[in-house]
Amino acid sequence: MYSGDRHEAIHDQDEYIFVYVTETPGAFPHLEALYSKFYSEFSLTPEHAGLLVHELLALHDRFGANSGKSMASLVLRLAQFFSAAARNHIGVRCAGD
């Protein structure tokens, strides 16, 4: 994922986060949308990036206690990336596998 001069990735070992998203259909609609497009090329608006920050934090609030430090690190890393995009009004370009 690219936004301005920033780059971030959801690595193979990070994809477990989508298991939590799919276990609770409708609870995290923007993360569900991200997951549905995960293996393709697509773009996100700065507004969508901001909504993802809130959903990531809510996801951690709901499941983080059972997931340990790895989920906290992943959520923080992704939230910082999406937050920077939203704050700077820069879209996010996602490159598929």
What is the 3 state secondary structure string of the chain? CEECCEECCCCHHHCCHHHHHHHCCCCCHHHHHHHHCCCCCEEECHHHHHHHHHHHHHHHHHHHHHCCHHHHHHHHHHHHHHHHHHHCCCCEEECCC
pTM of the shown model:
0.93
What is the average pLDDT value for the chain, to the nearest integer?
A: 94
Domain count, the chain: 1
Quickly tell me which residue has 């549905």 as its tokens.
36
pLDDT tens readout for residues 44-62: 999 999 999 999 999 999 9
What is the spatial distance between Cα 47 and Cα 65, in angstroms, rounded to a whole number?
Answer: 28
pLDDT of res. 67: 78
What is the extent of the structural domain holding 62? 2-94
pLDDT tens readout for residues 60-71: 999 987 777 889
